Structure 1
Amino acid sequence: MPSGNLGAVQAPLTVTPAQLPNVLLHVAVVRPVFLWGAPGIGKSSLVQSFAESLGLHCVTLLGTQLAPEDLIGVPQIVGDRSRFAPPETIARDEPYCLFLDELNASSPEVQKAFYSLILDRRIGTYELPVGSVVIGAGNRATDNALARPMASALVNRMIHIHLRASATDWLKWAADHGIHQWVVDYLVQRPDHLWSPPPKTEEPFSTPRGWHMLSDAIWSYGESIDDETLSILAFGTLTAAHASAFRAYVKTVRHAYDLDAVLKGDASWPRGPGDRDLLYFLSETFRARLIKGLPTSKDNASPVGRQLAFRAKALLIELAEISLECAQLVIATDDDGAPVLPSWFLVEISRDLPRLATARI
């Protein structure tokens, strides 16, 4: 890559959506800010909310839909001279928030046209009113999104903030914005499914925006929505794995079939051929429960922790009889090959369930 251009700026430190307003309040009012983040995590809506909190109108310009003349304007003859008149959208009398969305996806010519707005807060003879703020935003090239390298001169004109998705923040927001209860309750159990890295192929992937769209579609159909339609919607907005798990979760809600009932012995693992996705979902939930509930050390285990371990071994035996794959999922290592369950529990599994331990992935 030429030395004059920079790709996606690296992010040693990031902020959550809940932290962002305070950062912008102190930074954006004195210097232009560029907000980096993956697609669908709420950059645009957060900037608009920030502008509203300051009582400023938010003017959004999409870099991918602009030509240089859309910013510079067209020449007009004034007296015996010509001057460029910027568009009415930009040339306002009152202070406002200028949001340059998809800035790093715009052409190099458009990026150059932004220079004076970002650095000098002016374009042609028009100067942004005192009290205006300038915020840019864009996706990262690593997210397989449209992103062009920004010239180092443009990068150096802004303070760069990196936004990450936060399930805690999003769930707080969802509670006040009419997100469907199925979506909220599912993500309470599986906050790691709120966002997934964009794939290299053209297929849906999970983002806060995607979950919001799924919620809107479910509300449109109503809770009488059939399983097939729910599946179409889920697989159209989320990753395949998350869509399958969400579909299974809704089955548990509709049939009052949850992990607590299995742990208590009030229900058994589902065995029907049509319940494969349900069994997989319960297995993942069981794994998450063990990660959270099993003590690190057996010697310091509470009675509750010991009871969970005892019950877990019995349930793993039953689960392995139905599906060895699902049982393996419960005790599987992480992506780096490191165990996620306590070593003492895995030792007991190796002793009491040798067939499962041998096959453990």
Structure 2
Amino acid sequence: MEDSKKMDRISNLPDELLCHILSFLPTKIAFTTTVLSKRWTPLFHSLTILRFDDETVHNYAAFNSVCGFIDTFMLPPRLPNQFIKTFSLKCRFVFSDSNCHILDAWVEAAKQRCIEEFHLSMIARISNDTIFTCQTLVVLKLEWLQVEVENLCRDLPSLKTLQLRFVRFKNKNVLQQLLNASPNLEDLNAYGTSKHDKNSAPVGVKSLSLAKLVRAEMRAIDVPYNVVNNVEFLCVYQAEDIIFKSFPVFRNLIHIKLQFYCFFHGWDGIVQLLQQCPKLQIVFIRKWRSSSSKEWKWPNSVLECVSSHLRSCTILNFEGSANNLQFATYILQNARFLQDMTIDVTTRSSNEMLLERSEIIEELSSCPRISPACKLTFEYK
């Protein structure tokens, strides 16, 4: 029994399995295994998934240490033909222009090693198009970057996932060119602070079609919605007014998430959008502040998606206004295949015209439901 307890089971595992286990660790942590025995050093250097996620760097000394550590993986004497599947770097230390050549060298090395996934989250400028010329790239995630590339006439035939968060393009046409270069894109996450009209676009972008796109998350970015009208899942975060009547028809859309800071159009806008989504099954709506006092009335005819497809409806920050109750009642009385409706009731407002929580629950609980399978759930915050 004593001998079995002391048995080194890890050392008996094959190299391939050990490398697989190490790939789930941050690379800095994986490096500590090299002190165990000589066997672990070549294992460590053969890792194909590299994660340098260090958001604790706050001074040049620590920054230079991290850069030196990354250099040992990305630059010679590491074998130039050694495959790297994933390179991820998250750093909150600002890359000055004088240090951008370091980043350029890492990107070039990643491209030479047929990188498939590239994640970069840092405050820095990208002045060359190297990462946008990598034909093996499947996943590209960029965050907090300033892209200084003037033109991007490239081909990214393998790219399936593109995530841009707080990425600024010096030339807004570069974003269009990036999408044009990605004919097989399936997942687009565009989250930024651009102030351009979403229903207008850089020259040529309205004719762009991402035929294989199935998922899109959009917030304040220079991509009009007609570019993503093939998706099955759409998430819209919006701080400003959206012109719902300008939305294209989303013929494949099954699941939509709408999050508004200012509910300017009220439920009229939501109905206009739902009219463009004939196959919609799941609706999630979150609103922080209502600014429409216009009385909402039921549409003259029942929306196709509501009567024939809607299965789940969730409304967060639901206040006891007449309009809110009207919309919820409309769904309950017309969604024939509705399985669940979740209402997150809030009573934060001091408006005396709003119903109390108990009154909201009583009103909706007593509402007739056309779907006998519908489960009505109330949540509170």
User: Would you call these one fold, judging by a TM-score over 0.5?
Assistant: no
Give the TM-score of the pair, scaled to structure 1. Answer: 0.35
Give the TM-score of the pair, scaled to structure 2. Answer: 0.34
**Higher strand proportion:** 2
Q: Which has the higher contact order (CA 8 A, sep 6+)?
A: 1
